[in-house]
């Protein structure tokens, strides 16, 4: 990028260092999750802590802050420059307002809490994780006070993950979604199709990993993932790691008893990766690089996973390919059974295994608990009980133990309070974007039936990917769809799709 404004030039030069350190840190993180031998964990934690400190120093450099505040007052900025300043002010807020000793304490606390969580989960022992969790919550409350907020301290934490997100907005969304999702789930569960089981439901069906790997390569190529600007590995939990636009790595997992896990995780993570690979090269190493927010990022991954990958039209295309890979397992399965299998609705205790209908109920539960924890309306020791109560209320099931309940997610051990709601927003954005895309691409259904995904990618590139962090989520969704985020489209999408698949009436 070429800069005329000297303040912006100096600011972006300094930002480049922050960006580079962040990417080096991401490589260490990626390596830790993909390659690291167990004995290397301590040394790696020290290396990552060192980079965190270095990055904090860059952010907290008084000259950087002076330049940024000067730029904020400049009335002659271009729209790109204004967006840069806006992004830096938002990203810098944490470092400008939270004292360095708290930042360091949080980093140390969460490293220990993460290790404690792993062991507690294996041992199914919440009481061993509890002291760590209490410390993480206390630190998050302190951080919220330093960041400042208008109404609710939880707002300050939400804002760290999604620009402008508030407790009230989330509460309104979940109040609207919850009864609709519970009603739809009830309808599906009463349908005859729900009760029918096929050979696919049996855990005796075996899908060798070797073939799953080939299927992963196949679908990523179809989607347009650039293998020369990324790579695919295996990890305990799938993730995407952007190390710059030209090196966007993803991981997946392979479970021999269920081919859906690797197939849809790969599509999901590649959806994140396509976003990063498609950003305007002019934005490289500037404050406009990278996807704009967690929710918009998740909208892209969920779009490929659900709106494309689980669309009955696309399943028409993929079914014979699955059958060619697994003739003995799937050769005799009809298209309808396969479509239902790939869109199976089943309330279960585990969030990452949840279907489209129940997924956001898992998030509602976590949102409600986090809000109460941060506001001291709920104590951490009471979590296992209230978790069970809410599971019964929303899903009519109870987790067998804490490993399947309060200990299942990594987020709280890492200190990520305020992160979960971005998953739901991502689902809502995806449905709203899907509706507009279908109205603009007349051949959408036909393209999916033929497995021609180029038009989908081209559309997303044009409307979303190339813009990087130029527009905030609220502007972006307005530009694309002509209105602000509206949960109605997600509710409509689920109702139409699942009443069709389960042959039941719309709720
Ligand atoms: Mg994701």
Enclosing H/E stretch for 249: strand 248-252
The answer on pLDDT for 506 being more than 80 is no
Q: Are 52 and 107 in contact (CB under 8 A)?
A: yes
pLDDT of residue 402: 98
Q: How far is the CA of 213 from the centre of ligand 1 (A)?
A: 20
Q: Are 279 and 290 in contact (CB under 8 A)?
A: yes
pLDDT of residue 115: 87
Task: Report residue 144's pLDDT band, with 50, 70 and 90 as the boundaries.
Answer: very high
- State the virtual CA torsion across 332, 338, 341, 343 in degrees, nearest 10: 180
> Which runs of consecutive H residues, i.e. helices, occur in 343-420?
359-374, 383-395
Q: How far is the CA of 436 from the centre of ligand 1 (A)?
A: 22
What DSSP designation does 225 have? Answer: -
Q: How far is the CA of 290 from the centre of ligand 1 (A)?
A: 15
Q: How far is the CA of 159 from the centre of ligand 1 (A)?
A: 18
Which pair of structure tokens corresponds to residue 244? 């710059």
> Which runs of consecutive H residues, i.e. helices, occur in 35-99?
41-60, 62-73, 79-97
pLDDT of residue 108: 84
Rounded Cα gap, residues 326 and 323, in angstroms: 5
Q: How far is the CA of 271 from the centre of ligand 1 (A)?
A: 9
What DSSP designation does 243 have? Answer: S
Residue 391 burial (CB count, 10 A): 21
Q: How far is the CA of 193 from the centre of ligand 1 (A)?
A: 30
240 catalytically annotated: no
pLDDT of residue 202: 74
Task: Return the residue matching tokens 């490293």.
Answer: 111
Q: How far is the CA of 35 from the centre of ligand 1 (A)?
A: 21
pLDDT per residue as tens digits for the range 319-345: 999 999 999 999 999 999 999 999 999
Q: Are 354 and 362 in contact (CB under 8 A)?
A: yes
Which of the following is catalytic: 159, 269, 305, 371?
Answer: 269
Of 288, 276, 285, 287, the C-alpha closest to 460 is 276
Which pair of structure tokens corresponds to residue 30? 């990626």
pLDDT of residue 200: 82
As beta bridge partners, residue 241 has 249
Total-model pTM: 0.96
Rounded Cα gap, residues 232 and 269, in angstroms: 10
* Residue 17, Cβ density class (10 Å: 0-12 exposed, 13-18 middle, ≥19 buried): middle
Q: Which residues surround ligand 1, an ion (CB under 5 A)?
A: 301
Rounded Cα gap, residues 29 and 401, in angstroms: 30
Of 210, 205, 211, 265, the C-alpha closest to 240 is 265
Average pLDDT estimate for 288-295: 98
Q: How far is the CA of 264 from the centre of ligand 1 (A)?
A: 11
Rounded Cα gap, residues 147 and 264, in angstroms: 37
Rounded Cα gap, residues 66 and 61, in angstroms: 9
Q: Are 145 and 99 in contact (CB under 8 A)?
A: no
Task: Report residue 196's pLDDT band, with 50, 70 and 90 as the boundaries.
Answer: confident
Task: Report residue 199's pLDDT band, with 50, 70 and 90 as the boundaries.
Answer: confident
pLDDT per residue as tens digits for the range 70-96: 999 999 999 999 999 999 999 999 999
Separation of CA 380 from chain center: 25
The answer on pLDDT for 203 being more than 80 is no
* 165-171: long-range contacts, CB 8 A cutoff, minimum separation 24: 165/295, 165/418, 165/421, 165/422, 165/425, 167/371, 170/367, 170/421, 170/424, 171/371
State the average pLDDT for the chain.
Answer: 95
Q: Are 267 and 223 in contact (CB under 8 A)?
A: yes
Distances (CA, A) of 255 to 227, 259, 318, 344, 465: 23, 7, 19, 17, 31
Q: How far is the CA of 112 from the centre of ligand 1 (A)?
A: 25
Task: Return the residue matching tokens 């769809």.
Answer: 481
Q: In what order do the strands lie in the sheet with 240-242?
A: 232-234, 248-252, 240-242
The answer on pLDDT for 505 being more than 90 is no
Rounded Cα gap, residues 9 and 12, in angstroms: 5
Of 282, 274, 277, the C-alpha closest to 247 is 277
pLDDT per residue as tens digits for the range 11-64: 999 999 999 999 999 999 999 989 999 899 889 888 988 998 899 999 999 999
Task: Report residue 99's pLDDT band, with 50, 70 and 90 as the boundaries.
Answer: very high
**For 120, how many CA atoms within 13 A lie in the half-sphere containing its CB?**
24
Which pair of structure tokens corresponds to residue 235? 């990890």
Q: How far is the CA of 136 from the centre of ligand 1 (A)?
A: 23
Task: Return the residue matching tokens 């799937």.
Answer: 330
pLDDT per residue as tens digits for the range 226-272: 999 999 999 989 999 999 999 999 999 999 999 999 999 999 999 99
């Amino acid at each position: 990028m070429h800069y005329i404004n000297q303040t912006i030039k100096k600011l972006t030069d300094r930002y480049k260092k922050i960006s580079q350190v962040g990417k080096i840190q991401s490589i260490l993180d990626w390596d830790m999750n993909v390659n690291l031998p167990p004995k290397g964990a301590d040394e790696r934690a020290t290396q990552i802590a060192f980079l965190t400190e270095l990055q904090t120093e860059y952010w907290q450099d008084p000259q950087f802050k002076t330049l940024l505040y000067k730029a904020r007052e400049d009335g002659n900025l271009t729209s790109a420059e204004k967006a840069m300043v806006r992004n830096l002010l938002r990203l810098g807020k944490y470092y400008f307002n939270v004292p360095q000793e708290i930042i360091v304490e949080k980093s140390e606390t969460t490293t220990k809490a993460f290790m404690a969580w792993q062991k507690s989960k294996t041992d199914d022992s919440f009481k061993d994780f509890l002291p760590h969790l209490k410390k993480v919550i206390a630190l998050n409350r302190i951080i919220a006070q330093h960041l400042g907020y208008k109404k609710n301290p939880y707002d300050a934490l939400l804002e760290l993950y999604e620009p402008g997100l508030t407790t009230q907005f989330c509460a309104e969304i979940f109040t609207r979604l919850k009864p609709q999702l519970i009603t739809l789930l009830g309808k599906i569960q009463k349908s005859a199709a729900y009760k029918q089981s096929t050979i696919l439901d049996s855990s005796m069906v075996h899908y060798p990993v070797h073939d799953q790997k080939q299927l992963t390569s196949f679908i990523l190529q179809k989607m347009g993932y650039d293998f020369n600007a990324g790579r695919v590995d295996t990890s305990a939990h799938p993730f995407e790691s952007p190390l710059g636009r030209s090196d966007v790595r993803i991981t997946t997992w392979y479970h021999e008893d269920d081919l859906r896990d690797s197939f849809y995780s790969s599509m999901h993570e590649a959806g994140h990766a396509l976003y990063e690979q498609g950003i305007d090269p002019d934005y490289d190493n500037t404050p406009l690089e990278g996807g704009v927010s967690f929710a918009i990022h998740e909208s892209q991954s969920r779009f490929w996973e659900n709106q494309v990958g689980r669309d009955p039209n696309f399943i028409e295309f993929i079914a014979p390919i699955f059958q060619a890979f697994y003739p003995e397992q799937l050769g005799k399965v009809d298209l309808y059974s396969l479509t239902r299998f790939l869109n199976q609705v089943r309330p279960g205790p585990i969030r990452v295994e949840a279907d489209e209908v129940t997924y956001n109920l898992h998030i509602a539960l976590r949102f409600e608990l986090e809000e109460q924890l941060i506001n001291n309306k709920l104590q951490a020791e009471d979590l296992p009980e209230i978790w069970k109560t809410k599971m019964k209320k929303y899903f009519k099931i109870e987790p067998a133990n804490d490993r399947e309940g309060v200990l299942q997610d990594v987020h709280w051990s890492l200190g990520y309070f305020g992160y979960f709601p971005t998953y739901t927003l991502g689902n809502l954005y995806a449905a709203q974007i899907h509706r507009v895309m279908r109205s603009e691409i007349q051949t959408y259904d036909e393209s999916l039936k033929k497995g021609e995904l180029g038009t989908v990618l081209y559309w997303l590139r044009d409307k979303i990917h190339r813009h990087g962090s130029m527009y905030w989520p609220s502007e972006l969704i307005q530009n694309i769809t002509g209105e602000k985020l509206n949960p109605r489209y997600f509710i409509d999408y689920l109702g139409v799709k699942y009443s069709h698949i389960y042959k039941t009436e719309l709720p």
